A and B are shown apart, each in its own frame.
Chain A
C-alpha cells in the first residue's frame, strides 16, 4: 500500500484503473470459465444420460428376451459419438450383457465401479449409469462412458482465449486510462505546479487555471481564493510592517530623546544627590558645631550665673544682719533674676536642640505618657487635669512629645485663675491627622495675641507675676511644625482657652523634606 501511496498521481490513477479492470476481467473470465465448465459438464451428463436412456429404451426388449446381440447392435450405435469410449448393458443380475468399446481403447469398467444409477467424473472420463426399466421393473442397467479430454481441450482453448482477451482488454484499458487520467491528474498537477511556484518564489499573484467543474475545480477555486487572501494579507502585512517600522523608528527616536533626557536628568539628579550628600554632611557638621556651640555657650553662660548666685547667697547669709528689708529684697530679686537667666539659657538651649538633636523614634502610647506628664507637672489640687478621649499611639521622639504636652499643660495650670480649674485633653481624628486639644477654663487670651504668644520670649503676664521664660509655646510650635502638624489657639477672654495641635498619623518623615527645603531656600 505505501508503494501505491507514493506513486505519482498519473501512475496511481492508471494503476488503480488497471487493477480494477484486470480484477474485473479476471473475475469475469474465471466466472465464465467456471460457468462454462459446469454447464459443459452438466450438458455432457445430460447428453450422455439421454443417450443412455435411449440405449436403455432400445435394449428393453433385448434384455427381456435375452437377446445380447440385439443389445450389442444397439450399443454399436454409440460409434457415432466420438467421445463415447465405452458402453455396456448389464442385466438385472448386474452382469455384463453387452458391451461396446471404442476402437482405440479398451477400458474396462470394473464391477466395483458399478452403480445402479447416477454419474461420476473420474480420471478424465464421465461415466453414466441408467437403469433399464420395463414395465416398472428394472431389467438391467446401461453404462456409458465418455472421454472428457475433448471437453478439457476445449476448456483450455477457452481459457487461453479468455486470457488473450484479458490481456488485450487490459492493454486497451491501459491505453484508455493513460489517456483519460489526464482529465483528473492534469488539473491536479497544474495546481501542484502553481503551488510549488508560489511557495518557492513567494509570488502570491499567480493563480491556478480552473479547468473542470468538479471537486478539483472547486479545489482550484478555493486555492486561488486562498492565494488572493494570502496576497492581500501579505500586502497588509507589508503595510503593517512598514508602519510598524515607521512607528518603531519614531519610538526609537522618542526613546532616544527620552533616554538622553533621562540620562541628563540622572546626571542632574546625581549631582543633586551629591549636592544633597554634601549638604547633609555640611548640615551634620554644622549641626555638630551648633550643638557644641550651644552646649559650650550655655555652659559658659551659666558659669557666671552660678557664681553670681553663690555670692549673692553668701552675701545674704553672711551679711544678713547688715542688710535692711530693702537690701534683703534686692538680694532676693537678684537671686530671682539669676534663676530667670538660668531658665532662659536652658530654654534657648532647648529650643535650639529641637530639630537638631535627633532622638530615637518610638511608638509612644499617649494613654500612658500623658498621665505621667500630668503627674509630673504636679498641679495643685484646685486644678484637675483630665483626658477626655482615647489617645492614640504615635511614632515620635518621646522627649519631644513630652515637651509638647508638658509645656501646654503646665501653661494651663500655671495661668489658671479660677478656683475650680479644669484642664481637658482631647483627641480626634481629622483626615490624616490627629487633632489634639488642651482646653482650660483659665483667663483666656485676647485674639490679637493669638499669634504673638508663639513667639520666643513672649509672655502675656508680666514676668514678675508669673515666672515664665516665654519659650514654652515657641518650643511646642517648633516641635509640632517639625512633625508636620499645626498649632493654634481658640479662646474667649475670661472663659478659657483651647490649644489645638495636629500631628500626622503616619510616620513623621516630613522633617527631612522640610529641612531640605529650608536649606535650599536659604541658598
Chain B
C-alpha cells in the first residue's frame, strides 16, 4: 500500500486469515494486518479512537454475529468510516452478494481462489492497485 497504515482484515476462518497473513509475508507487504473475526469486532476496532484507522479493509461476507453485508451497511453509513475503501474478499460467487456489495460502495470484489498460489496473486493485485491508487488521508 501506499502508506503504512494497517490493513483491516475481517475474516472468521482462521485458515483463510493465515493465508492472508502468509500472502502478505510472501509479498513482503509491510502494512500491519489487523485481524478481526467478525463485523462486530471490526466495528469495535474502527470505533476505537486509539486505534489507527486502516487504509484498506479486506472484508469476508460469511461471518457469524455480524456478516460482511451488515458491517458494510454500518460502515458506509458512518461519515468517517465510509471513506475507507473496502475490498470484499469472499468465497461467494453469488450474484446477489456482488450486487449488494457494490450497492454498498465496495471498492472491489474478489473471489478467494481455492489454490493458494492464485490467492497470493489476488492479494498482490490488491496491493499493487492500492499502491498505485490514491488513498484518502484519514485521521
Query: A residues within 8 Å of B by Cβ?
Result: 295, 299, 302-303, 306-307, 309-311, 313-314, 342
Partner of B16, one of A302, A307, A342: A307
B112 proximity list for chain A (CB < 8 A): 306
B121 within 8 A of A: no
B132 within 8 A of A: no
- Whether A313 contacts B16 in the complex (CB less than 8 A), given A295-B94, A299-B91, comes out as no
Q: List 23 A-B contacts (CB under 8 A).
A: A295-B94, A299-B62, A299-B91, A302-B91, A302-B114, A306-B15, A306-B91, A306-B112, A306-B114, A307-B13, A307-B14, A307-B15, A309-B114, A309-B116, A310-B16, A310-B18, A310-B19, A310-B116, A313-B116, A314-B18, A314-B22, A314-B116, A342-B114
Determine the distance from Cα of A303 to Cα of B14 in the docked complex, in whole angstroms: 11
At the interface, is chain A mostly helix, strand, loop or mixed?
helix
Determine the distance from Cα of A141 to Cα of B16 in the docked complex, in whole angstroms: 180
Interface residues of B in 97-124 (CB under 8 A from A): 112, 114, 116, 119
Q: What's the least CB distance linking B102 to chain A, in Å?
A: 20
Partner of B15, one of A302, A310, A342: A310
B16 proximity list for chain A (CB < 8 A): 306-307, 310
Most chain A beta-carbon contacts within 10 A, residue among B13, B14, B116? B116
A303 proximity list for chain B (CB < 8 A): 13, 91
Q: Count how many chain B residues have C-beta atoms less than 8 Å from C-beta atoms of the other chain.
A: 15
Q: What's the least CB distance linking B90 to chain A, in Å?
A: 10
B92 within 8 A of A: yes
Q: What's the least CB distance linking A316 to chain B, in Å?
A: 11
Most chain B beta-carbon contacts within 10 A, residue among A295, A302, A310, A342? A310
Determine the distance from Cα of A309 to Cα of B18 in the docked complex, in whole angstroms: 13
Q: Which residue of A lies closest to B14 (CB)?
A: A307
17 further contact pairs, Cβ within 8 A, besides A295-B94, A309-B116 = A299-B62, A302-B91, A302-B114, A303-B91, A306-B91, A306-B112, A307-B13, A307-B14, A307-B16, A309-B114, A310-B15, A310-B16, A310-B116, A310-B119, A311-B15, A314-B22, A314-B116
Interface residues of B in 15-66 (CB under 8 A from A): 15-16, 18-19, 22, 62
Determine the distance from Cα of A299 to Cα of B62 in the docked complex, in whole angstroms: 10
Determine the distance from Cα of A306 to Cα of B91 in the docked complex, in whole angstroms: 10
Q: Which residue of B lies closest to A295 (CB)?
A: B94
B94 proximity list for chain A (CB < 8 A): 295
Q: Which residue of B lies closest to A312 (CB)?
A: B116
Contact A299 B92 (CB under 8 A): yes
Q: Which residue of A lies closest to B19 (CB)?
A: A310
Q: What's the least CB distance linking A444 to chain B, in Å?
A: 36
Determine the distance from Cα of A307 to Cα of B18 in the docked complex, in whole angstroms: 10
Determine the distance from Cα of A295 to Cα of B62 in the docked complex, in whole angstroms: 13
A307 proximity list for chain B (CB < 8 A): 13-16
Determine the distance from Cα of A295 to Cα of B92 in the docked complex, in whole angstroms: 10
B116 proximity list for chain A (CB < 8 A): 309-310, 313-314
Contact pattern, B 2-19, Cβ under 8 Å of A = 1, otherwise 0: 000000000001111011
Q: What's the least CB distance linking A305 to chain B, in Å?
A: 8
Q: What's the least CB distance linking A473 to chain B, in Å?
A: 26
Determine the distance from Cα of A399 to Cα of B22 in the docked complex, in whole angstroms: 38
A310 proximity list for chain B (CB < 8 A): 15-16, 18-19, 116, 119
Contact pattern, B 74-87, Cβ under 8 Å of A = 1, otherwise 0: 00000000000000
B14 proximity list for chain A (CB < 8 A): 307
Give 6 nearest A-B pairs by CB, closest first: A307-B15, A313-B116, A310-B116, A306-B114, A310-B19, A310-B15
B18 proximity list for chain A (CB < 8 A): 310, 314
Determine the distance from Cα of A342 to Cα of B115 in the docked complex, in whole angstroms: 12
B15 proximity list for chain A (CB < 8 A): 306-307, 310-311
B13 proximity list for chain A (CB < 8 A): 303, 307
Q: What's the least CB distance linking A308 to chain B, in Å?
A: 8
Determine the distance from Cα of A311 to Cα of B19 in the docked complex, in whole angstroms: 9
Determine the distance from Cα of A306 to Cα of B17 in the docked complex, in whole angstroms: 12
Determine the distance from Cα of A310 to Cα of B19 in the docked complex, in whole angstroms: 8
Q: What's the least CB distance linking B12 to chain A, in Å?
A: 10
A295 proximity list for chain B (CB < 8 A): 94
Determine the distance from Cα of A314 to Cα of B25 in the docked complex, in whole angstroms: 13
Determine the distance from Cα of A306 to Cα of B13 in the docked complex, in whole angstroms: 10
A309 proximity list for chain B (CB < 8 A): 114, 116
B119 proximity list for chain A (CB < 8 A): 310
A342 proximity list for chain B (CB < 8 A): 114
Q: Which residue of A lies closest to B112 (CB)?
A: A306
Determine the distance from Cα of A311 to Cα of B18 in the docked complex, in whole angstroms: 9
